[in-house]
Structure 1
Amino acid sequence: MSTAQSGRMNDNDKSITGFAMISHAVVHTYELSIPILMVIWLAEFSVSTAILGTVVAVGYGLFGLGALPAGILVDRFGSRELVLACLAGMGASFLLLSAAQGIVTITIALCLWGVAASIYHPAGLSLISTGVEQRGTGFAYHGMAGNFGIAFGPLLTAVLLLFFDWRLVTALLVIPAGIAIAYALTASFDERAAVQAETDGGDIDENAEGQMTLSRFVADSRALFTLGFTVAIAVVMMNGLFYRGTLTFLPDVLSDFMPDIAQQLQLFDPDSPMAEEFNPASYLYAGLLMVGMAGQYVGGKLTDRIRTETGLAVIFASLTVVAVLFVPAAQAGLATLLLVSALLGFLLFSLQPMYQATIAEYSPPGERGLSYGYTYLGVFGIGAAGAAIAGFLLSIGSVWQTFVILAVFPAAGAILAIALSKTGDRRS
């Protein structure tokens, strides 16, 4: 019995998954530390939510826009070297951020981070989809590691800000990239083991991967964009817009609903610097993201058991309800605030392995890098507009109105997921 039949990961699966997990965690450690820092930047640089939301949207947008050229490079050169370049670039961008004295330098540093970070998802997800035989399990663990970084980044940043200036904190955040690079250099694996297993060594043209020209890019893109793949990209765009729209300003939004726990429990001297810096909303935000690890695991496991289109439709519909009820639940008390936050975190991140596996179903193995390039162009590139949209909505209306309008995105995602199930364009 093969490992694919037994449901167990082989050594190659484990090596690739470990490599991807630590790299994925570092990417999101940086990504979600930014909203915590935004709370400080709003006060220190006296900028509006609309302006800062647009600035951050530019950096986050490059996180997605760079995914398409990164996907092309993955199909030509493979994943390992590109992931290493991603890690090094992100560390360097946060080092530059530590020297920022104004919003312009912050913008430049975030743009550099976005370009470097954009490499990861096409490279890492292509690696799992072509190298890991237990793909659903690989996506589940990969997603959990990402959520660890998503939760660890804000938590680590919030804790460090209790003791250090934000510029020193961003300098210290370079360390995770260094650790990940050191680990990555020791990993050994076959990037195409699962594809060889699926095709019996067959129908992928290895020579075709060596040269990428504009005409080939156009031809590959035309071949990739079947009706099913096009609808799948629209689905992940809805996820990206809602993801970025809700998470970017969430630490600041949660501050409006959180009681002053530090004063109630007398955790610090009221006149101490730590009391001034302690923000309980940052810890609730980190906890919400940590709950997302369970969502990633459940979503990943379900991709091996149900049609992903069905899973996407159910989760999107549930997110629509949670978005509409989020503010009334938050206003009802601490218990309902914690409950609705946990639901938001669980559902939001259970989507990720679902749409990642869906893209694999609607794209050929030889073009996985390109397919995930387009995916993250949609998720993080176009999705970055969610940050600007949320910042604008918060500047002209209430938090409840903002969440209700943002609920349009998961509602549209549910409808598109149902439509996707009717196309019949699956490739695998």
Structure 2
Amino acid sequence: MSLESNDRSIAAFTMVAHAIVHWFELAIPILLVVWIGAFDVSVGVIGLVVAIGYAPFGLGALPAGVLADRYGPKRLVLCCLAGMSLAFVSLAFATSIYAVALSLLIWGIVASVYHPAGLALISTGVEDRGTVFAYHGIAGNVGIALGPFAAATLLLVFEWRLVAVALAVPGIVATLYGLYARFDPTAALDDDVDDAARSLSAREFLANSRSLFASAFVLVFVIVTFVGLYYRGVLTYLPEILHGLPAMDGVEPPGGLEELSLGDYFYVWLLVAGMAGQYVAGKLTARVSVARGIAVVFVVLAALALAFVPVSSTGLVPILLFCGVLGFSLFAIEPFYQEAVAVYTPPGSRGLSYGYTYLGMFGLGAASISVGGFLLEGTSLGVFFGSLAALALVGAAVARRLVAKPAPTASAETDVAGGDDD
């Protein structure tokens, strides 16, 4: 990557951390299957236990954003890496499902720190934000793919407690690497804005929140929430939907892995295609208006949702191509909305801004999990994907409104960063 030295250092640090966050996140569902037998609990109970871990992952993003502005993003990211690793090590000592729930709760709380802190670091320390956002997203997808793969592979050989400890090792290594990483976290800011950013405190939370939501950021927040609704709905249920397609019947998976279906491989292909989408979109953020880029991707996602049912009845090759295009488009929107936060918010409240962003993405966006399950159980695939298309079209309409909104001026940035003294 042709980046300045400081950009390269921040990129490497955040890429490693982002991969580790999703490494842990996607390893949990693999362990879930083992815990059902190990603690003799029902699927409903284990689902509640896992939800206890995942809920603070989104809900904790807002207070994490406040802490990132107050104490600095690098310190928060290091605490996140260390905390997640220790939470997984603690799973090895769990003697009941309640202890597992406690470990996952701790994991969710500390994991919620990463996105607002890591993205705030990129937005204030990196000159070539679009490129780094792209590489950052690709690293997250690497973690998404490798976490469950590593967990499943290790479970073939080792007892689950040892696997939990083994999964923590990369997190510990990443923490040690982060301790020695050197970079300027505010290199992309002017000195006067930097001083204002340093002055932000948790006490000014309400004043800064009012200022943010009185600006174009309110549109960015709505956009990200609709991204989350579409994203969670697709990624939660697509594996099960792919398993049930008639085109998948009678096709044996390669390598004798009878416990996996062909749909699992198609799903992995979707995630791999997402890496390309993030890279291309990250490059385009420097050339295309982020609001227009978001609107275009939303329209594409709406069209893809409407196309799923017809495509699913045409054969394996069209479904494979569809999954590639869907993965590319679904993850292409990420660099655009991350850049939109950087464009439409002041640096002094950047951590708070990304806190709200991921509250919308992972917190409010998770509502589509329960609603999507109801639609799939009580209606049809057509209704489910039609609802996703409607969400994407609403997101596109909001993005069109954002096109006309100017970015904050330097004076406005300083005013918001310094808070409301009245």
Separation (CA, whole Å) in 2 of partners of 1:316 and 1:193: 33
In the TM superposition, what are the counterparts of 1:17-416 in structure 2 within 5 Å? Answer: 17-36=11-30, 45-47=41-43, 56-97=50-91, 107-164=101-158, 168-195=162-189, 199=190, 201-206=191-196, 209-210=198-199, 212-214=201-203, 216-257=204-245, 258-259=248-249, 261-262=251-252, 267-268=255-256, 275=258, 277-416=259-398
1:106 CA displacement? 5.2
1:53 CA displacement? 6.4
Separation (CA, whole Å) in 2 of partners of 1:298 and 1:174: 32
Deviations 1:255-306 (A, max 9, x none): 223345446x6x43xxxxx64x344433332221111110110111111000
Select the residue among 6, 11, 14 that pairs with 2:8: 14
The one-letter amino acid paired with 1:124 is G
1:185 CA displacement? 1.9
- Structure 1 pair 327–168 and aligned structure 2 pair: CA distance change class (3 A): farther
- Structure 1 pair 42–16 and aligned structure 2 pair: CA distance change class (3 A): same
SS of aligned partner of 2:188? helix
Deviations 1:173-232 (A, max 9, x none): 22221221122122101111111xxx3x234434x7356253x21111122223411011
Separation (CA, whole Å) in 2 of partners of 1:260 and 1:160: 28
Q: Conserved in 1, the CA contact under 8 Å of 2:295 and 2:397?
A: yes
The one-letter amino acid paired with 2:43 is V
Deviates more, 1:114-123 or 1:321-330: 321-330
Separation (CA, whole Å) in 2 of partners of 1:28 and 1:285: 16
SS of aligned partner of 2:195? coil
The one-letter amino acid paired with 2:241 is V
Q: Conserved in 1, the CA contact under 8 Å of 2:193 and 2:347?
A: no
Give the percent of matched residue pairs that are identical in Structure 1 and Structure 2: 48
The one-letter amino acid paired with 1:73 is L
1:359 CA displacement? 0.6
Separation (CA, whole Å) in 1 of partners of 2:184 and 2:297: 34
The one-letter amino acid paired with 1:378 is G
Q: Conserved in 1, the CA contact under 8 Å of 2:80 and 2:111?
A: yes
Partner of 2:400: 418
Separation (CA, whole Å) in 1 of partners of 2:167 and 2:251: 27
The one-letter amino acid paired with 1:226 is A
1:400 CA displacement? 4.1
Figure out how many residues of one structure are paired with residues of the other and give that number: 406
Normalized against structure 1, the TM-score is what?
0.85
Q: For structure 1, which runs of at least 5 residues remain unmatched after alignment?
A: 1-6, 269-273
Deviates more, 1:64-73 or 1:164-173: 164-173
- Structure 1 pair 113–252 and aligned structure 2 pair: CA distance change class (3 A): farther
The one-letter amino acid paired with 2:198 is E
CA RMSD of aligned residues (A): 2.8
Q: Conserved in 1, the CA contact under 8 Å of 2:36 and 2:46?
A: yes
Separation (CA, whole Å) in 1 of partners of 2:224 and 2:324: 22
Partner of 2:420: none
Q: Conserved in 1, the CA contact under 8 Å of 2:70 and 2:202?
A: no
The one-letter amino acid paired with 2:293 is G
- Structure 1 pair 160–400 and aligned structure 2 pair: CA distance change class (3 A): farther
SS of aligned partner of 1:249? helix
1:424 CA displacement? 3.1
1:332 CA displacement? 2.5
SS of aligned partner of 1:332? coil
